[in-house]
Amino acid sequence: MPQYEYKVISAPTRGIKAKGIKAPEDRFSLALEDVMNQLASEGWEYQRAETLPSVERSGLTSSTTNWRNVLVFRRVRSEAAPKAPAVEPETATPIRQEPVIVQPKTPEDDASKSEGASRMLSDNGVEEASEVSGMTNSLKQLAASRNPDKTED
C-alpha cells in the first residue's frame, strides 16, 4: 500500500490579470489554475478544497472564528524521504520531578528556630514591605561552607 504525504495551502483569494481575461470569475479561475498546475509539476495530486474554521484572538480577552479556504494535495511518499520520527508516549509528556525535601539533622540546622526566619513563618496573607531581620542558620552555614575564612556570627 503506498504511503502518501499531504500538502495543504491557502486557496487564492484574488484573481490574476491576464491578456484577454476580463471577468472577475475568470481571473480567479486562472489564479486557481496556476496554483494547481505549479503543484502538479512538483508531483502533487489535487484532492479537494475545504472550508475550515480557524479560532483566532480578537482583542485581549475574546476570540472569533474565521473560515479559511484551503486546497489539499497529496503525492506518493518517495522511499528516500525520511519518515517523521515516531513519538513515544513516555517522552511525549514531561516527567514531573518532585522536589527533594531535606530534613534538618540537628535543631541548629532547622531554619524555623532561627531569629530571622521566625517572622517569615507567621504569614497573615499580606505581603510585608519590610525585610526579614537577621540571617537564618542555614544561610550562615551555606556562607561558611563557601568561604571558610569568613565566618560571621
pLDDT digits (tens, 9 = 90+) for 82-112: 566 665 555 555 666 666 666 666 666 665 5
Cα(36)–Cα(49) distance, integer angstroms: 11
Angle at 57 between CA 54 and CA 58, to 5 degrees: 115
| C-alpha closest to that of 53 among 40, 63, 72, 67 | 67
- Grid cell, residue 21, equals 481575461
Mean pLDDT over each residue of the chain, to the nearest integer: 77
Q: Please compute the mean of the pLDDT values over residues 112-128 and round it to a whole number.
A: 53
- Cell 482583542 sits at which residue? 59
* Strand blocks (E) in 1-114: 4-10, 45-58, 62-76
Q: Kindly report the length of the chain.
A: 153
pTM for the full predicted model: 0.49
Confidence of residue 2 (pLDDT cuts 50, 70, 90): confident
Q: Is 48 exposed, middle or buried (0-12, 13-18, 19+ CB in 10 A)?
A: exposed
- Cell 540571617 sits at which residue? 135
| C-alpha closest to that of 138 among 119, 118, 103, 110 | 110
